[in-house]
Structure 1
Amino acid sequence: MRKFLFPVFFLASLICSAQKQVYLFSYFTDNGQDGLHYASSTDGLHWSALRQGASYLSPEVGKDKLMRDPCIIRGADGQFHMVWTSGWHDQIIGYSSSKDLKNWSPQQAISVMEHEPTAKNSWAPEVFYDDQQKQYLIFWATTIPGRHADIADSEHEKGLNHRIYYVTTKDFKKFSKTKLFFNPSFSAIDASLLKKGKWYYMFVKNENPKPAEKNIRITKSRKAEGPYPVEVSAPITGKYWAEGPTAVEIGDYVYVYFDKYIDHTYGALRSKDMEHWEDVSDQVEFPKGIRHGTVLTITEAEFNAIK
């Protein structure tokens, strides 16, 4: 009787596909001084802190040695790549990679704005894999005094008037020159990308102070690198102040989570068509003290290895 040799790669594929998906939220608490925190969910609504809210990684780079706004993605190389805000007045951002979300490579300072001596900051960086160009985009918000139109008197708000800048890289060793990524007619911060179908959607905060906007808008492009139209959508968030959007597809919906930072709580929206948004903030549960973070999908095995 001939033995049937089951292909190992096919078996591994079946095992992977059979694993349940877990949604992982990377976030910071307080001022970001103790580093990286995780929360998990299986339905996108109920989130629980891992390790009783203990930190998974302490910050080591930057003037203030903070780890605010951690953004983690799964790269094309199968590794996890993370960027974060390293300090309030840094011209660099933090970077590290991991194979298992637990053991991280030596932390690296990526010089993104040191060529601009007057640049005030490099805030809320995000990393995104551009599957068309086979490269990574890293983008963040920076204020360069006097550089951009100040139609809402933004520079009188602690001297800040942000726009979104970016670099590209294929290996996190060599980086392109810094370029302007998104330059609307308002102070823009906290940009985040989601690919859905043939479109790349950018969620971004309108930071204008007079009159106070502090809400999330949307623009979209056929290319990850843009250009993104500066004529953005109407606010998708409500009368509360919101920042730090992060999006994920769960079932028929796209969920957008955001920090209601004045209310010291987290909110959520969802949509089936990317045009009509339902506020489901009253349905979500997040750990106490959670601050601006990002969401990604991992396998049950990966989750079990870190919980």
Structure 2
Amino acid sequence: MNFRNFLLILIGLSQISCSKESYVFTSFREPATDGLHLAYSKDGYNWTDLGGSFLKPEVGGKLMRDPSIVRAPDGVYHLVWTTNWKGDKGFGYANSKDLINWSKQEFIPVMDHEPDVVNVWAPELFYDDVTGRFIIIWASTIPFRFEKGEEDEKNNHRMYYTTTKDFKDFSKAALFSDPGFSIIDAVIVRYVKGKYVLVLKDNTRPNRNIKVAFSEKVLGPFEHVSAPFTGYLTEGPTVAKVGNDWLIYFDQYRNKTYGAVKTSDFKTFTDISKQVNIPKDHKHGTITKISNRTLNGLKNRKN
């Protein structure tokens, strides 16, 4: 091999290395007043806390719980979060190109038209590349609107949604999912072309575990709700594609630990909780991919 060919190989390897991506996992820390925490992973299994808060909440009830992030095709990261336990009729929003410098925070009052709504919990972002729009789903309770089991009327949730292309104009909030029971912490996943799964928490008192439902349309209806694949008192699922598997992380809030399962078809699930490492006190967030350049910026930022 001559020197020129050797040099070309080195350049090629360097380009491949630079093009690789890592994973970032958003979260918060109780009591949810200091804002956005981030962890990163190279393999989707082992996570390292990036330290400190990257965005302090300033809107609504000035809490940041359940931060959900998605990267748009233009490279901009969009973030939504729960701003209060009760009382707020919307969620927080901000965007960033590097996860360090953020836009001015906004409060999006999606449930202003519902005078009796109790809460807006765990907004989750999904980018629909078929229509070029963002879909945001969340859980709300509107007392005496739906049948319930043992739940209090102010804890009988259903999922709602809005859509937007620019985070300036939003469609009117509408019912997204009523599976016949109280539901929170739902995440949309397109797992094959034309097939969608909704990973959800059954929040009824006897259950409080995680299940899946299926649809051929991104806005549902999601049907054929599965049996639970997590234990009692689990919530906050997020999903990441790692190799040929989908990893579903979830908060085991009774134990104050994180668990995970892997699946290739959302029908059979293998517990991999002992194979993953999550930072201490990590709470309900979502996973997306970031470039190594962005990751290096996060590592080198000045607190």
Normalised TM-score (structure 2): 0.91
Tell me how far 1:31 sits from its aligned partner. Answer: 2.1
**CA separation in 1, counterparts of 2:159 and 2:136?**
10
Match of 1:206 in 2: 202
Q: Does structure 1 conserve the Cα–Cα contact (< 8 Å) formed by 2:23 and 2:44?
A: yes
User: Equivalent residues in 2 for 1:1-307 (5 A)?
Assistant: 15=15, 18-51=18-51, 54-62=52-60, 64-89=61-86, 90-150=88-148, 152-155=149-152, 159-198=154-193, 199-209=195-205, 212-229=206-223, 231-238=224-231, 240-307=232-299
What are the Cα deviations for residues 106-150 of structure 1, in whole angstroms up to 9, with x where unaligned?
Answer: 000001111111100000001111112221101100000000111
SS in 2 for 1:127: strand
What are the Cα deviations for residues 254-295 of structure 1, in whole angstroms up to 9, with x where unaligned?
Answer: 000000111101110001222110011122111111111111
Q: Does structure 1 conserve the Cα–Cα contact (< 8 Å) formed by 2:94 and 2:102?
A: yes
Structure 2 gaps of 5+ residues are: 1-10
Q: Does structure 2 conserve the Cα–Cα contact (< 8 Å) formed by 1:19 and 1:301?
A: no
Tell me how far 1:244 sits from its aligned partner. Answer: 0.5
**CA separation in 1, counterparts of 2:128 and 2:290?**
19
Q: Does structure 2 conserve the Cα–Cα contact (< 8 Å) formed by 1:194 and 1:248?
A: no
Amino acid at match of 1:213: N
SS in 2 for 1:103: coil
Structure 1 gaps of 5+ residues are: 1-10
**CA separation in 2, counterparts of 1:232 and 1:197?**
18
Tell me how far 1:187 sits from its aligned partner. Answer: 0.3
**CA separation in 2, counterparts of 1:17 and 1:227?**
42
**CA separation in 2, counterparts of 1:16 and 1:120?**
50
Count of paired positions:
286
What are the Cα deviations for residues 146-191 of structure 1, in whole angstroms up to 9, with x where unaligned?
Answer: 00111x22126xx310000000111100011110000111100000
Tell me how far 1:45 sits from its aligned partner. Answer: 1.5
**CA separation in 2, counterparts of 1:188 and 1:167?**
17
**CA separation in 2, counterparts of 1:278 and 1:269?**
5
SS in 2 for 1:304: helix
Aligned-pair RMSD on alpha carbons?
A: 1.7
Normalised TM-score (structure 1): 0.90
Amino acid at match of 1:305: G
Q: Does structure 1 conserve the Cα–Cα contact (< 8 Å) formed by 2:212 and 2:266?
A: no
SS in 1 for 2:293: helix
Tell me how far 1:18 sits from its aligned partner. Answer: 4.7
